[in-house]
Amino acid sequence: MASKPVTIRVPEELHAQLQERAEAEGTTVTALITEAATNAVRDPRLEGAAEVFRAFVADNADAFDAAFPDDTPDRLDAAGRAA
């Protein structure tokens, strides 16, 4: 993916906080700012969509399994292992 440079000015204190957080997370200031910018333009309708979908699937798994017995997936436990 191509990228474009963007120059912004931030107060020294904010820059220091960004550097501290980046070091604590094992990342870079650029990565933190890129993530923040991505979140700023993310469609708000998608917020929580994955959690809602997972809850729907979990609540209706038995009905799906009964309706489509040949397509029943293996169940995973909380650690992601086959149950």
Q: pLDDT tens digits, residue range 2-47?
A: 999 999 999 999 999 999 999 999 999 999 999 999 989 988 777 7
* 82, 74 Cβ separation under 8 angstroms: yes
Look at residue 48 in the predicted model and tell me its pLDDT: 83
As given in the structure block, the two tokens for residue 64 are: 């799906």
Specify the pTM: 0.53
As given in the structure block, the two tokens for residue 15 are: 């820059």
Look at residue 7 in the predicted model and tell me its pLDDT: 95
Look at residue 32 in the predicted model and tell me its pLDDT: 96
